[in-house]
Amino acid sequence: WGVRTRQRLGRQQNGKGGKKPRISVKDPDQSIHIVTTACLPWLTGTAVNPLLRAVYLARLDRKVTLVVPWLAPEDQKRIFPRNISFESPTEQEEYVKDWVRNRVGFDAPFNIKFYPGMYAQDKGSILAVGDVTKYINDEEADIAVLEEPEHLTWFHHGRRWSSKFKHVVGVVHTNYLDYARREEGGDLKQALLKRINQWVCRAYCDQVIKLSDAVQRMPRQSTCFVHGVSPSFLNVGVAKRERPQSGEERFPKGVYFIGKVLWAKGYTEMLQLLKTHREATGNNLALDVFGSGEDLGAVQAGAEELGLDLTFHGARDHLHSSMHDYKVFVNPSRSDVVATTTAEALAMGKFVVVEDLPCNVFFSTFPNCLVYRTPEEFSRCIKHAVEEEPTPLAERDRKRLTWEAATERFLYMAEPSGLGDSPKERFLGSLSYRAHQIISGLEPVRHAMGAGKKTRDNPERVVDVRPIRPEDCGWSLAGKRGQVAAPPTVGSSA
């Protein structure tokens, strides 16, 4: 899936008729810098997936550097779990390398560099401070992979990524338009953000890979799921193939959902579906919820008011042994581009119940993926999943979920396509960059849009970065990302 999209784009060589030199992403002599917007121990998709991409590219004897944000101690306490904090980038790098070793079972020879970042409460994510390109040596600037290219460059003021590097590939992870739509003034914010995302991707990327068509149209785009699943999840699935001893069940536990507790992460839809399911079937489905987040209290109150049988367990690693015995993973989120947790559940041999959406196209090709279009179909999927046994994960399906297969897909899709080589595209890209540099250099505009004060220029040292103050978030704070979408209308709980 997704490869046919790449085939239709043709195979023009980058640099043909343009100023950029010929280059191949598959050339082992070309170094790769993977730049992302988050880092462990924050277990968010943009921390884990770029890290594993770096690991598996390095395993192919590629020279790979992962470029991640360093946060001030105050910001570390806000988002890192279990009160984990680091006094230096070296200490955090050691933590990341240890996590990789435990997760994949081997040492990977990749490097880690840090850039100064700050946690923006209004966006629920990390923003760069200053020009990130300054932390990468020109001599090593061959290929850049911008994980979340729009996010990385909203407020970028400095050198053009596609001028510093021979080839720049953006990988779009997040449906930011859905988040914007749920905020106060959502229609205006969504329309504005859509154009900004297209603007910065044209200015800084040679081509863009979307994980699914759940996200907006982008310049120079193609679509392919280029993520995989850690071997540890697949090992659970292999173990679950074994026939249990007499009287035992392969999956003795029932239905669960795991994810950050924000209304925008599927909790609105989940409460609505469970309420409708109970009214239609008389079955108040018991569902265990694993996650933490700003909306936890509101979601708990909404579930209680509706009389739903939800048990909240707090945040937990999806790989924790207590998660292995659940049989059914429900993910009703409409804001995902591609949910890593859904892939992990399939890898562990479980049923997954998801809506018929572009973000679930890849998953729908697996026999244990049950897809619904209406609340009635949701109820039928739940009934089937609860009463039947998942099909043991076939070897062919197991391989499709591996990071080895995902890395092959990535190298194929990231190969220069020539999409930005025409005179028109080169002109539009240059114009977009120049205009963005003017706007992103204006402090009043940066403040109004939520970049914070005095974040345009680089601090003297990476570790000198300071947290953003709420009063410096500007107009964007009015939305309070993830907190505006209302819970479902409360009906009778009888």
CA-nearest of 456, 458, 421 to 220 is 421
What was the pLDDT predicted at 293? Answer: 84
User: Does the pLDDT at position 490 exceed 80?
Assistant: no
- How many other C-beta atoms lie within 10 A of the C-beta of residue 338? 23
Mean pLDDT of 291-319: 93
Q: Contact at 8 Å (CB) between 32 and 65?
A: yes
Nearest to 253 by CA among 321, 169, 308, 188: 321
What are the distances in angstroms from CA 427 to CA 17, 18, 224, 423? 13, 11, 27, 6
- Of residues 416 and 4, more confidence is placed in 416
Residue 21 has a pLDDT of: 67
- Tokens 């955090």, residue located: 92
* pTM (global) more than 0.85: yes
425-453 pLDDT, tens digit per residue, is 999 999 999 999 999 999 999 988 889 88
pLDDT band of residue 493 (cuts 50, 70, 90) is: very low
